[in-house]
Amino acid sequence: MIIIYINHFLLGEQLKIYLVGGAIRDSLLGLSVQDRDWMVVGATPEQMLKKKNQQVGRDFPVFIHPITYEEYALARTERKNGVGYNGFSVNFSPNVTLSEDLIRRDLTINAMAQDKHGNLIDLFCGKKDLNNRILRHVSLAFQEDPLRVLRVARFAAALAHLGFQIAKETLNLMTSMCNNKDLLHLFPERIWKETEKGLRTNNPHVYFQVLHACNALNDLFPEIIFLYQNLYCSALNFIRSCAIYVGFKEMFRISRFTKNIDIRFSYFSQFFSRIFCTPDIFTDDYFFYKKPTILVNSLCTRLKIPLEIKKISIFMCGFHNFLQTINIQPTHLIVKFFNIIDVWRNPGILKKFIYLKFYYSHVNLISSKKITLGVLINKMFNIVKKISIKSIDFRNKYKGIAIRNELNRLRIKYLERWRLLQKFTYIKKNN
């Protein structure tokens, strides 16, 4: 592992500077190094500012290098003196040693350092745990910060493809923290920030699996607990296995196609519709199922999830049953679906639906094996979007709301004709 040290002369030769954290971990794993963080031992804030570094953060001094723009943090220790993220007293005096700083870190694989000569400083067997694919806490100081439960879940998701597992003693410690309700002190913004990072990993479902394993879901995502229940569905006459497994499977599948957070989260959220008995197929509830969307709305509101993610998640959940049976739904409801999601003013929203597929193999849907649900929805929209005010002269015949009604009528007519043609073609090919 070779990390080039540059521009340290601006900080002064008398200071000890170490590369720390993720850059060392990723380099040893053969992964690309995205960011480099540095620790400075034996310095004061005044010395750092004198060397033209820009200070950021109020709780403890972190500085931005004037040339590389990388972060340089003073070595520090922390002592728990309250609750929550801000319940710490921080000491960043020049007397704080390298080992005192490293021992406060979360995992051994993140507690390694490298000096300017390239020598690895591994006081807590981080390299051994890397080789053994183990996520292990450094010390009992781990339990002072409940956010670390989420961070371990995120690292488990990020490194799952390399075979990493959480050490039993670390998982036990995380479980103890959750059972003590330590996670209730976390701010919603910080919960979502870590969750967002977890959703960006190669295996985002692992993030939630770990949180469930240590009982964190009870306090952070209580709505998701419902997805672990079995449900007998009289409408389709079968016992639905826990929706969580279908949700995790779908989240894993989607992560192969896109890193888009609102798609990953909303495709998982759609399965909230499966924790309630399915309503009769040709009812308003079946068209847009409001009951499960209450849970999605509650989760998104409590964690202050961005509105765009909240909106598409509610759409995916509420319209889940309807879209899964779209081939046997009346055409006027399909056009109504396009109206509700406001595809006319925001056609880009259909890109969110493009990866959808038919999940219920026992339902006999014409062409479901020949075309995915997402592609079918887009094909239908391509038919109805041809009918617009510009394409037909409405001015001399209709005014006001009559224009909208006529547009709607023609869209239904053209889409119905296209659907009948597709059905006829399908039957002809299979007879």
Report the binding-site residues for CTP. Answer: 22, 25, 105, 151, 154
C-alpha closest to that of 24 among 126, 95, 102: 126
Q: Which residue has the tokens 């053994």?
A: 132
C-alpha closest to that of 40 among 68, 74, 87, 65: 74
Contact 225, 217 (CB under 8 A): yes
C-alpha closest to that of 66 among 150, 6, 140: 6
Within 10 angstroms of residue 100's Cβ, the number of other Cβ atoms is 14
Instruction: For the chain, count helices (H), then strands (E).
Output: 19, 13
Q: Which residue has the tokens 């909303």?
A: 266
DSSP letter string, 218-260: HHH-HHHHGGGS-EEETTTTEEEPPHHHHHHHHHHHHHTT---
Q: Mark the binding-site residues, compressed into ranges.
A: 22, 25, 35, 37, 105, 151, 154
- Report d(CA 320, CA 288) in Å as an integer: 8
Q: What is the DSSP letter of 283?
A: S
C-alpha closest to that of 380 among 354, 346, 407, 406: 354
* The two three-digit tokens of residue 15, written as one number: 């200071």
Q: Mark the binding-site residues for ATP, compressed into ranges.
A: 22, 25, 105, 151, 154
DSSP letter string, 345-391: T-GGGGGGTTT-----TTS--TTTTTS-HHHHHHHHHHHHTT-STTT
* The two three-digit tokens of residue 232, written as one number: 């007998």
C-alpha distances out from residue 58 to 62, 240, 285, Å: 9, 52, 51
Please name every residue paired with 20 in a beta bridge, in sequence order, or none if there are none.
37, 113
Q: Mark the binding-site residues for Mg(2+), compressed into ranges.
A: 35, 37
C-alpha closest to that of 320 among 369, 363, 282, 358: 358
